[in-house]
């Protein structure tokens, strides 16, 4: 996992590898996604 606040908008979700789930207003499991850089 990488995180850099300066890059923000130039990263795009390319694919959802694993679905995320919510129960009411709580996140049970966040989605696992593949991100590409532009």
pLDDT per residue as tens, the chain (38 positions): 555 555 556 788 889 999 999 999 999 999 999 888 87
When computed from its CA atoms, the radius of gyration of the chain, rounded to whole angstroms, is 12
pTM of the model: 0.58
Task: Tokens for 28, please give them.
Answer: 């049970």
The domain ranges of the chain are 8-37
Task: Tokens for 30, please give them.
Answer: 């966040």
Q: Where are the beta strands (DSSP E) in the chain?
A: 11-18, 21-23, 26-29, 32-37
Give the whole-angstrom CA distance, residue 19 versus residue 31: 5
């Amino acid at each position: 996992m990488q995180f850099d606040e300066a890059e923000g908008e130039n990263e795009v979700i390319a694919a959802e590898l694993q679905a995320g789930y919510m129960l009411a207003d709580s996140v049970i499991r966040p989605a696992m996604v593949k991100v590409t850089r532009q």
